[in-house]
Amino acid sequence: MKKIYRVYAMFSGGLDSILSVIYMKKLGYEVIPIFFKTPFFTPENAQKAADENGFELTVIDITKQHIEMMKAPRYGFGKNMNPCIDCHGLMFRELSKLMEENKIDFLISGEILGQRPMSQRKDALNSVAKLSSVKDLIIRPLCQKLLVDTKPIREGWVKKEEMLDIQGRGRYRQIALAKEYGIKSFSNPGGGCVLTDIQYSIKLKDLVEHNMFEEKYIKFLRIGRHFRLSDNVKMIIGRNSDDNEKLSKLITDEIIFKHLEIPGPLAIINSKHKLQKNEIELVASLLLRYHQKIENEAIVHFGENHKLENSIQVTKMPREEVKKYQL
């Protein structure tokens, strides 16, 4: 009886990763798609793509490992705060730890040679493989014909002539395959990682520069307006009721500021020290600047978590002062 090889697939939910899974499944392999979760890329889009294409997706949280890697990525960052080569290497390395216990024979990904300038050049793909600790067990079905043979091909588990030779930034061959396989929707390449976004990267760099590069602070970066008030104090203000609700759900032991009588924005403080009186005044004044229903002066309540046991009366910050604090 012919052996059915078990394969882990690194899965993002983008077209290339969908194609690589379907392609290998059609060749008779048992393919298990894996999505790695961090604060910088979350599984919603990948789960939607998996559900639409009949895949059973496994989601693994690698937040701690990813944050540690980002402190000093061997191959550096891309245009913004995206350490793509080190990130992919980390993911393969994490998959390698699960291979033996789950009887996995080799790994695949949907990477395309030459599609992305930083992470998918031939030398970059080799660098990813080196970082992975399982360099000789990686197959990239969509472009493997153009790459050096790895063990699955040398041992005959994978026939090289059955692999594809897609390369470059054009996507016409992938689109044609998508039509052939009946894939109706898919996310944009790289669209799920906020580390490629310049505004997000500005806020993340601020945390790095102020020794706050920790999950408890990173979790707030996707929501609201962000302000750096001092080396020790970071402030987030909700833009609307949806932001306020999302911020509220993230609160653990943070100090929050709010006007109790009139509905308006919620402010959250990220700080490693106890707020001083001048900092409290600054936060409350800045919060009022974004409270449209307050003309000039008001009482702002504040306290840890949702216990608003303290209050201060302040004047709304002049509009021209806001820019010096905004990230």
Write the pLDDT tens digit of every residue in 154-196. 999 999 999 999 988 778 898 999 999 988 777 665 557 899 8
Whether the model clears a pTM of 0.95, i.e. scores above it, the answer is no
User: 236 exposed, middle or buried (CB, 10 Å; 0-12, 13-18, 19+)?
Assistant: buried
Q: Is 327 within a domain? A: no
User: What local confidence, expressed as pLDDT, does residue 78 receive?
Assistant: 81
Do 38 and 142 lie in one domain? The reply is: yes
User: What local confidence, expressed as pLDDT, does residue 193 receive?
Assistant: 86
Confidence of residue 206 (pLDDT cuts 50, 70, 90): very high
Do 88 and 56 lie in one domain? The reply is: yes
The pLDDT tens digits for 15-25 are: 999 999 999 99
Contact 229, 278 (CB under 8 A): no
* Domain range for 284: 198-322
Q: Is 303 within a domain? A: yes
Nearest residue to 98 (alpha-carbon basis) of 7, 16, 20: 7
Q: Is 143 within a domain? A: yes
Final residue of a structural domain among 145, 179, 195:
195
Q: CA-CA distance, 24 to 133, in Å (whole number)?
A: 23
Final residue of a structural domain among 164, 195, 226:
195
Q: Is 19 within a domain? A: yes
Q: CA-CA distance, 7 to 179, in Å (whole number)?
A: 25
Domain count, the chain: 2
Q: Is 1 within a domain? A: no
Q: Is 21 within a domain? A: yes
Report the CATH number at residue 181.
3.40.50.620
Do 290 and 182 lie in one domain? The reply is: no
Final residue of a structural domain among 195, 218, 242:
195
Q: CA-CA distance, 38 to 81, in Å (whole number)?
A: 14
